[in-house]
Structure 1
Amino acid sequence: MTVTNKDNLLGWTAAIAVAGIWGVTGVVSKPLSMAVDPMTLVFFRYVTAVIGLSVIFMITSRFTSLSKDLGSSLKIDKGDIAKIALCGIIGQGVFSLFNFLSLSHIGATENGVIQGMQPFATVFFGMMFMNFKMSKIQWGAFIASAVCIYAMSVGPTNQVENGSSVMGYVYVTCSMLSLAWTAHLRASLAEKYGSVVSMLYQYISVAVMGIIVVVAMDLDLSQINIILANPLLLGLLIFLGMGISGGSYLIQLYSFKKIGVEKATMALNLMPLVGYIVAVLTLGEQLHLSKTIIVSLIVVALYVFTKFEAKPEINKSLKPQEA
């Protein structure tokens, strides 16, 4: 298929837009996590996500060109129910819970950088369980990024009042690992059922588990009034549940069609940089030359890591998964 200059422009615009949407997850979550307790916020997020993705499925399932990749049927094999529940509860629920908890201790900048390490963690889990290997260049990129992460952790940190930067880094690392641990399984489910159908069932599993947790822990769902009373918080919740966890898939699929999966995936390496810039501009987080250099180096390391994969056939599994 011949790719025109217009296709290239539209494709890269869509790919960068996805990087922007996913890159601001920490920024969007920050005000919400400060207003509502993390456990309850997870429940609110995935109820919103189920509603949003259900609407998207009803629309896309009517179009053959879209349903082929996103899913055309809600039927799933009984043998995959446990897999979907695992991906939903661990890869989405636990991921979000620890992510929200981390934002009670550190800034969206630090949060976004650690979350951007998912490609590295995904490959490590692949090496442990699926015989994946890293090339020498990838090892170099990983070591460079690890040094950068250490430099950031001991350097100036946007620490929350009464928070602990150490706990913040622990929480966000657990969050990132929860998502990365299920990456390969989620990729196989998306390939089998379509990305929207697969993710919809994962969100439903989190929502169902959320109901159980709400009853067991007697969580205060009246906190939703805090969000409903604040137009900004309400908008952020809708964007978090329906935009980041829903509509971004359609934009990403469009970029795949225009410029291909590999090029579109490369754009996702901009996520840590996007999160950093937006956090500085919107949340007033501190801009440090050293941190700017560190974040830029990590983006370069991520690009090199993705560019020089040892096994091209695992590209699909190594894409950073939506938050």
Structure 2
Amino acid sequence: MRSIRIKGSMMIAVLMAIFLAIGCAATKKITQDILGEGKALKKKIAFLPIVNEAGYGGKDFQASARIHLNTFLKRFCDGLYIVDSQKTRNLLKEVPRLPSGQLDNLALAKLGRSLGLNVVLEESLSGIKCLAEKRGIWGFRDTCMLAQLCVCVRAYDIETGAILFDEVVQGEVEVSEDDWHNLKKRSGYRKEIADRLLAKTTDGICKRICELLGDEPWEGYITSCSENTFTLSAGKDVGLAIGDVLEVFGTSEPIKGSAGQIYLVPGPKIGEIRITKVHRDRAEAIRILGSDLQKSSHVKLKP
């Protein structure tokens, strides 16, 4: 017992030294390798077309918002895989809306499963406000001319069709008096100011997404079945490998929302499958145990 305690203490000391030398993210990966924790598969995320409600900057502003979102997520969220092909954009653009005006979450969930997505993000740029605030030490305060951008962000869970979060993220930057007046008059588009505002808001959005999805396990979907072979809409892109064993979960009765939405409800475990072939964005598996696995809600990596 004494030797086990000594080894445990030495291990902690080694991991602390690694942490101090190279930082948290790398230490977490090395810790998993040393202690033999299960591997973490990446979650797949895609974006609905960005809505520019105020019209400021037109398509240029929308394109910049998409670039910022891609860049920040790739930089700060290691556990995500971004699906942003032109085909995916076109498919998401066609997701219908309900008579209530809300997105058809069931249609989105069905499309998302076929693409192997875990989350779909919707962004709406609500416009730029011009603010003037007194800032600085009391008695020496100056008026600061500020531009503020509000972004409405909504994240949809593909497994259930539910909204994971629906928030407004704000960011503000200081601008010159001339730029402030031009913004107030909606005179022209200043890309430099727009990029600074997008950097502020996107940072907050990405932190929220990373916090929300960071510790959540990957979930995948069976998209087709032929005899004893099952096809999944995820592969090397999320980290699946030949030999991986996945638990398969059934379905329960869907729940109808007040505005016409239909929410999917996962059921209990009904079987297991083993990966036999892995492609870029899909994989094939065979049944280990269970029946009617094609009627599943989702699959998870077996611990």
| TM-score, normalised by the number of residues in structure 1 | 0.27
The structure that is helix-richer by fraction is: 1
| TM-score, normalised by the number of residues in structure 2 | 0.28
